[in-house]
Amino acid sequence: MKKFLIAPSILSADFFRLGQEIQSVLDAGADMIHFDVMDGFYVPNLTFGPLVLHALRKNNITATIDVHLMANPSDKLIMDFIYSGADYITLHVDSTNHLDQKISLIKDNGCKAGIAFNPATSIFCLDYIIEKIDLILLMSVNPGLGGQKFINSILKKIVLVNKIIKKFNKRILLQIDGGINLKNIQDIALAGADTFVIGSSIFNSCNYVNIISEFRKKLNLI
C-alpha cells in the first residue's frame, strides 16, 4: 500500500502558540511539518525565518520539517535554514537563475532538496534535475496566502509529474500544497500525490485528532 504523508502547514497555525500548535498536530498524527517561508519579494507576504526553526528544534520539536522557500533563495538563507535544523528545503524553480547550483548546495550540506512549481509554471526542467532532488512540490493555489481554493487543473499536472517520477524509478515525494480538504484529497491522491500540505482545514478545526483521522480514512480507501 502506498504511504501517504500529512504535512500541516504552520502558516495557518496560531503564531502566539506556535510551538504548542506544532506539538498538537504531531500528537494528533501528522507525519511532518510544512514550514512556509515568505520573504516579501517573491511573494508579497512576510512570515518567519531560520531563528523560528532554530527555536522549535531547541525546544524538542524533532519531527521532519520541510522548509518551503517562497523567497529569492540566497546561499546564506539556505545555509541558515540547514544550520537551524531543516530536513528538506524546497525552492521554486522560477525564484533563481541558478537552480542546479542551489540544489547542489542543499544536498552537499546534508539536507534533502525539493523543487516547487506554481500553478502556471511549466515542468520542463524536471528532466535535467530530477536525479538530484528528493521532493517535487506542485502548488495547487497561487503562493502567498493561506485559505485559497484548490485549482482543479492541477490534477492533470499531478498525473504528468507522477509519470515522470515513475519513469526515472526514483523515490521522490510528490507533494501538493493549497486548498486540500476532505472533499478533494482522494482525487488528489488518485492522481498520484503522496504528500499533502494542509493548513486551514487542520488548524481551523476544533479537534486536530479528529480532522487528521478523517483525512487518513479518506486516504485509506484508495
The one catalytic residue in 36, 39, 66, 134 is 36
Closest CA to 7 of 140, 196, 173: 196
- Determine phi and psi for 94, rounding to 5 degrees: -100, 15
Kindly state the greatest CA–CA separation across the chain: 45
Specify whether 177 is catalytic: yes
Are the C-beta atoms of 50 and 83 separated by less than 8 Å?
yes
The one catalytic residue in 31, 39, 134, 177 is 177
- Residue 84 C-alpha cell reads as 537551524
Specify whether 14 is catalytic: no
Are the C-beta atoms of 20 and 155 separated by less than 8 Å?
no
Which amino acid does the sequence have at 104? S
Q: Cα(222)–Cα(220) distance, rounded to whole angstroms?
A: 5
Which positions are catalytic?
Answer: 36, 177
